[in-house]
Amino acid sequence: MKALQTLKIAGMVALIASTAACSNMSPRERNTAAGAAIGGVAGSVLTGGSAAGTVGGAAVGGVVGNQIKK
């Protein structure tokens, strides 16, 4: 149970750090990062957790995010 609590705290710290890192990004860079994150999650879900599916989804999502409002 202690490991789960540690994992939750580490996740929250990572989330806070990642949102702070985006504060000086351009809208296009933010769209690319968001697209990659969403694509990675979608790729993982659609392929049952496959690493190739996750990386492929992140790559496709990043490209789509980058091209939005070009």
DSSP state of 50: -
Per-residue pLDDT of the chain (70 residues; tens, 9 = 90+): 677 778 777 877 777 777 777 778 898 998 898 898 889 889 988 988 888 998 999 999 999 999 987 6
Q: Give tens-digit pLDDT for 12-28.
A: 777 777 777 777 889 89
N- to C-terminal Cα separation, the chain = 47
The number of domains in the chain is 1
Query: Rounded to two decimals, what is the model's pTM?
Result: 0.68
- Which structural domain, as residue segments, surrounds residue 30? 2-67
Enter the tokens of residue 66. 């980058």
Distances (CA, A) of 34 to 8, 39, 52: 22, 8, 19
Distances (CA, A) of 26 to 61, 65, 66: 17, 12, 11
The neighbour count for residue 62, using CB atoms within 10 Å, is 20
Q: What is the pLDDT of residue 1?
A: 64
